[in-house]
């Protein structure tokens, strides 16, 4: 695995993966690699948490293994499962030959590796992304705690599997609930906020090649203005990028009231938010977006 001699080198590699972190995030990622601790990234939706894990995998030239969390996620979907139908078939096929050895039935051939086991037992360098951990329930979080401190998994029929090399682990949370202190203690922590105006323009230009400079700047300032309002769901960077892409596809070089109101649906996904940003509010935001800079 390629390691980075310093934070600048890491930033450069991330940029190569079309990811532009601020200094704080780059530092957190650098330290997570150095001390081989899991990194917990928290922040609102669309600020680049998932993408950070993908980018670090690309920067390290490592495989990304992703576990998407959800309510009810259990060991069978996160860690491993026995392939019952295959076991049954095997029993049927060998019935004539006498009893089937139990050892064989609970051997590697019949084991389905889910993301966590896959990451622990991989002989190649991997980045393990445990995405949206706040959606999983308490029991799963408790299970994870064990795995993240020892980097090992016990399968009763097989024994304990220990990671030959520790995977790089990134956890993300949208903070729909607080995570347990015990989990946080095992991780380095970094909060990703909305980017500054300058950096968001850079991100848009990176993600939407050929976007007119003025359009990018105006769209970003408009979105930054939206984030000051009391919205049900403030737009993330993802929305800014989508919007700029749509505007550029329409051949726009700058914003006007008409194009904003006809495309605002790529930025605001809630009906009540769209209702709020009408008429004077829209015109006010537009004036600010066009006058600054």
Ligand X SMILES: Nc1ncnc2c1ncn2[C@@H]1O[C@H](COP(=O)(O)OP(=O)(O)O)[C@@H](O)[C@H]1O
Residue 224: half-sphere exposure toward Cβ, Cα within 13 Å: 19
> Is-contact 186 38, C-beta < 8 A?
yes
Q: How far is the CB of 86 from ligand X (least distance, A)?
A: 35
By a kind-dependent CB cut-off of 5 to 8 A, residue 48 interacts, out of Mg ion, ligand X, none, with ligand X
Q: Which residues contact ligand X (rule: CB under 6 A)?
A: 18-21, 43, 45-51, 172, 203, 206-207, 237-238, 241
By a kind-dependent CB cut-off of 5 to 8 A, residue 46 interacts, out of ligand X, Mg ion, none, with ligand X
> Is-contact 200 192, C-beta < 8 A?
no
47 or 223: CB nearest ligand X: 47
Coil vs helix vs strand at 117: helix
Among residues 62, 81, 175, the alpha carbon closest in space to that of 119 is found at 62
171 or 277: CB nearest Mg ion: 171
Question: Is residue 75 classed exposed, middle or buried when 0-12, 13-18 and 19+ CB atoms within 10 A define those classes?
Answer: middle
What sections of 95-137 are H helices per DSSP? 102-105, 115-121
What is the number of the residue whose Cβ is closest to Mg ion?
A: 50
Q: How far is the CB of 275 from ligand X (least distance, A)?
A: 24
Number of H helices and number of E strands within the chain?
15, 9
Q: How far is the CB of 250 from ligand X (least distance, A)?
A: 19
Please report whether residue 224 would count as binding Mg ion according to CB under 5 A: no
Of 42-50, 63-71, 82-90, 212-220, the window that binds Mg ion (rule: CB under 5 A) is 42-50
Q: Give the total of residues touching Mg ion (CB under 5 A).
A: 1
Of 33-41, 49-57, 202-210, 277-285, the window that binds Mg ion (rule: CB under 5 A) is 49-57
Q: How far is the CB of 47 from Mg ion (least distance, A)?
A: 9
Please report whether residue 50 would count as binding Mg ion according to CB under 5 A: yes
Q: Alpha carbon of 150 to those of 30, 135, 154: distances in Å?
A: 21, 23, 11
8 or 124: CB nearest ligand X: 8
Crossing angle for the helix pair 23-35 and 7-16, to the nearest 10 degrees: 110
Of 5-13, 50-58, 74-82, 242-250, the window that binds Mg ion (rule: CB under 5 A) is 50-58
Cβ-based neighbours of 247, under 8 Å, separated by 6 or more: 215, 219, 255, 259, 263
54 or 79: CB nearest ligand X: 54
> Is-contact 125 63, C-beta < 8 A?
yes
Q: How far is the CB of 21 from ligand X (least distance, A)?
A: 5
By a kind-dependent CB cut-off of 5 to 8 A, residue 47 interacts, out of Mg ion, ligand X, none, with ligand X
User: In this structure, is the dihedral angle defined by the CA atoms of residues 109, 110, 112 and 113, taken in order, positive or negative?
Assistant: negative
162 or 269: CB nearest Mg ion: 269
Binding site for Mg ion (CB under 5 A): 50
């Amino acid at each position: 695995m390629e390691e980075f001699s310093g934070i600048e080198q890491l930033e450069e590699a991330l940029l190569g993966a079309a990811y532009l972190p601020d200094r704080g995030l780059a530092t957190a990622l650098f330290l997570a690699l150095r001390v081989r601790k899991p990194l917990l990234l928290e922040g609102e939706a669309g600020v680049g948490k998932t993408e950070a894990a993908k980018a670090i995998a690309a920067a390290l030239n490592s495989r990304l293994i992703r576990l998407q969390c959800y309510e009810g996620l259990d060991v069978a979907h996160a860690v491993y499962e026995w392939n019952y139908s295959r076991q049954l078939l095997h029993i049927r096929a060998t019935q004539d030959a006498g009893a089937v050895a139990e050892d064989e039935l609970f051997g590697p051939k019949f084991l389905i590796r889910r993301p966590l086991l896959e990451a622990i037992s991989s002989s190649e360098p991997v980045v393990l992304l445990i995405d949206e951990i706040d959606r999983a329930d308490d029991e799963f979080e408790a299970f994870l705690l064990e795995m993240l401190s020892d980097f090992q998994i016990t399968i009763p029929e097989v024994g304990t599997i220990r990671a030959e090399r520790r995977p790089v682990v990134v956890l993300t949370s949208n903070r729909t609930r607080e995570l347990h202190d015990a989990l946080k203690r095992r991780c380095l922590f970094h909060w990703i906020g909305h980017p500054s105006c300058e950096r968001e323009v850079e991100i848009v230009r990176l993600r939407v090649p050929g976007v007119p400079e003025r359009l990018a700047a105006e769209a970003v300032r408009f979105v930054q203005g939206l984030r000051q309002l009391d919205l049900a769901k403030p737009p993330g960077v993802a929305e800014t990028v989508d919007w700029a892409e749509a505007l550029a596809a329409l051949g726009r070089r700058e914003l006007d009231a008409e194009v904003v109101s006809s495309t605002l649906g790529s930025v605001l996904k809630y009906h009540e938010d769209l209702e709020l940003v009408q008429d004077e509010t829209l015109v006010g935001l537009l004036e600010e977006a066009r006058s600054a800079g």
